[in-house]
Structure 1
Amino acid sequence: MLMRARRATMGVPEREILAFKGGDSANWRHLEDGVRAAVGGYHAVVDGGSLADIMARLEQVPKPLNGYAHEGVAMGLTGLDCVLPSKSRFREFLAGPGDAHVYMVHIGAGEALARMRRRPEPFLARLDDPVLRWLVMDGYGFHQGFFARAKYVDRQVVPAFLSPYARRVFDQGVGRSIWFTAGADVVRIAAHIAAFTPDRHADLWLGVGVACSYVGGLSRQEIECLREVCAPHLTRVAIGAAFAARGRHRAGNPQPDTDLACEVLCGTDSLGASTIVEDAFAALPRRMDQPGYELLQTHLFEVFTASSLPA
């Protein structure tokens, strides 16, 4: 009964899980697998039990999908922190089994804040990592674009309480959500982004690059089509693809789709792209007068601009 009560108050209903789907093709099923893995991790927390119990459930998740599952766990733990703030379950997870999936864990925290209707910037200001904490904002944007598509994609609303830089990372999350809600259809993705004001295009496309590399599911021909339609923002797409590759290699769950995306969009395999991002982290100054994530992306922009990306 307690489990059912938790599901009723905090769970993600089946209708919400499937609301994004526009068909039953291989692409749609591939996207659904990722969504269900994330929701499964979230429900593992909502259902109750110790962190050890939750992690035991995650061991059943196929390796290519376990990043999504960790994202969901972080979402659930952050949601509990919002309603039962006696301790930080999120920090405990981040310092322990969530460490390898640190990128996805921060994203999951942002999704929880959106679901719990909490403002994200006070939360990320309390986090230690000056770079990765901004992924909370990405997760916030993804949740809003995915679960409230009519408002945040169709009507293109941006929360008025966000700072100028937070709005940019919010858009990167929205761009990633468009990958899912458009069924990874390159033509539809391009049409959605074209409907936004031009000043938002670069960050929306960066989010698409993250999704293409991390989520995968496309053929070489489809990714080459993506490279053509995003041509004015190819460098941003390459940054997103490389960043996702770094996340997968850090977590130890690289997949062939990430190699393919990086080859077409970055001109190197996923390990090469991951190394570029790792080097960019190493080049960051100790004292930062700008958001760390912005400094990282600026460095990557310079690297990819100088590298003659595939045409």
Structure 2
Amino acid sequence: MLETVGEMFLTGYAYAAESRTPAEAEERLEQIPRRFRGFAYEGAGMGFAVLDATPLASGGKVAGFLAGRGDAQIYLVYVGVGWAMARLPRFLWSKIHAPDPLLRWLALDGYGFHQAYFRTDQYVHGQYQDPRFPWPADAPPGYANRVIDQGIGRAMWFVGGTDVDVVTDMIHKFPESRRGDLYAGAGLAATYACGAEEQELRRFRERAGQYRPQLAQGCAFAAEARVRPGLVVPATEIATEVFCGVTPEQAARISNESRPDQPIQGDVPAYEVWRRRIADQFVSLGGVSP
């Protein structure tokens, strides 16, 4: 399963690189099997972002992608943009197209995943954080690293081979202040990518303990990312039942309805408000208490 995820990501990247227009890539992306199509769109998001940043490029590839069928996969496309950031020199980040003030944070999830997956010793075992991470420029001090941690947690699901005990052991080696964000990312991956049986997911929920609300929040993000383009599979239903106590459609609705209506100024970004609201909703439903 993990090998197929990587293959589909690279396939999407190749479709973006080879196509004359985003619409041409979309026709090919829509032929990818439902379970893996989102990963291909993520790879295409990276590919178009890299093309936009290429010297002498006119740009507009990501914008065109999001204006078409990429809109239904907007969460994955933004994550793919973050992969591009991890590969591009920082002086080219000004060419990155991530206009939505709320969803732009998902690019940092993609960035964190890339770093944790390809620089595992540094970012997972070494627990590295960049104290001066420069993007976005208007971020409250330190908050970018929290969203990067969500991406690191998502990568840990793959780094740990979807073995619940391996993944939770890695998370619990991190300081307590970072574990909630890591569990959010791991819950997102466990729901979206699947790869574990129901009994294993229940053990993951049990071991999450006090971080079950964050696990549920990540699960809800994944549910919305599958419900929006119509890519729910049976494994999605199992994961949302285990982590959230609801169906994928209900989890997606909670995520969508929890989104802040307008950008929030101050020390707590709208993205963090969104995540907290989702977690609080599942606490109020009574299914995620330790």
Calculate the TM-score normalised by the size of structure 1.
0.85
Aligned partner of 1:295 in structure 2 is 273
Does residue 121 of structure 2 align to residue 150 of structure 1?
yes
State which drifts further: 98-107 or 47-56.
47-56
Give the direction of change, closer, same or farther, for the CA distance of 1:176–1:50 in structure 2 (3 Å limit): same
1:113–1:119: 8 Å Cα contact kept in structure 2? no
Does residue 84 of structure 2 align to residue 108 of structure 1?
no
**Offset of residue 67 of structure 1:** 0.7
Give the direction of change, closer, same or farther, for the CA distance of 1:159–1:37 in structure 2 (3 Å limit): same
Does residue 40 of structure 2 align to residue 64 of structure 1?
no
State which drifts further: 43-52 or 135-144.
43-52
Aligned partner of 2:23 in structure 1 is 52
Give the direction of change, closer, same or farther, for the CA distance of 1:302–1:52 in structure 2 (3 Å limit): closer
**Offset of residue 279 of structure 1:** 1.4
Task: Supply the RMSD in Å over aligned alpha carbons.
Answer: 1.8
Distance 1:241 1:254 in 2: 13
**Offset of residue 150 of structure 1:** 1.4
**Offset of residue 86 of structure 1:** 2.1
Q: Encode CA deviations 1:212-267: one digit per residue, 9 max, x unaligned.
A: 11111211100110011111200000000011101110111111111101101101
1:45–1:76: 8 Å Cα contact kept in structure 2? yes
1:139–1:173: 8 Å Cα contact kept in structure 2? yes
Distance 1:190 1:128 in 2: 34
Q: What secondary structure, in the 3-state scheme, does the structure 1 residue paired with 2:69 have?
A: coil
Distance 2:229 2:189 in 1: 16
Aligned partner of 2:11 in structure 1 is 40
**Offset of residue 50 of structure 1:** 3.1
Q: 2:185 aligns with which of 207, 210, 219?
A: 207
State the one-letter code of the partner of 2:160: A
Q: What secondary structure, in the 3-state scheme, does the structure 2 residue paired with 1:175 have?
A: helix
**Offset of residue 301 of structure 1:** 2.1
1:120–1:140: 8 Å Cα contact kept in structure 2? no
Give the direction of change, closer, same or farther, for the CA distance of 1:187–1:128 in structure 2 (3 Å limit): same
Distance 2:213 2:143 in 1: 19
Q: What secondary structure, in the 3-state scheme, does the structure 1 residue paired with 2:228 have?
A: helix
Distance 1:54 1:272 in 2: 31
Distance 2:274 2:43 in 1: 26
Q: 1:165 aligns with which of 131, 139, 143?
A: 143
Aligned partner of 2:211 in structure 1 is 233
1:121–1:137: 8 Å Cα contact kept in structure 2? no
Q: What secondary structure, in the 3-state scheme, does the structure 2 residue paired with 1:188 have?
A: helix
2:224–2:255: 8 Å Cα contact kept in structure 1? yes
Q: 1:118 aligns with which of 79, 87, 90?
A: 90
Q: What secondary structure, in the 3-state scheme, does the structure 1 residue paired with 2:225 have?
A: helix
Distance 1:173 1:198 in 2: 17
**Offset of residue 286 of structure 1:** 2.4
Does residue 37 of structure 2 align to residue 74 of structure 1?
no
State which drifts further: 46-55 or 244-253.
46-55
How many residue pairs get matched?
A: 279
Does residue 245 of structure 2 align to residue 267 of structure 1?
yes
2:42–2:77: 8 Å Cα contact kept in structure 1? yes
Q: 2:163 aligns with which of 164, 174, 185?
A: 185
State which drifts further: 284-293 or 229-238.
284-293
Distance 2:263 2:33 in 1: 40
Aligned partner of 1:15 in structure 2 is none
State which drifts further: 86-95 or 99-108.
86-95
**Offset of residue 305 of structure 1:** 1.8
Give the direction of change, closer, same or farther, for the CA distance of 1:121–1:242 in structure 2 (3 Å limit): farther
**Offset of residue 277 of structure 1:** 0.9
1:45–1:73: 8 Å Cα contact kept in structure 2? yes
Calculate the TM-score normalised by the size of structure 2.
0.91
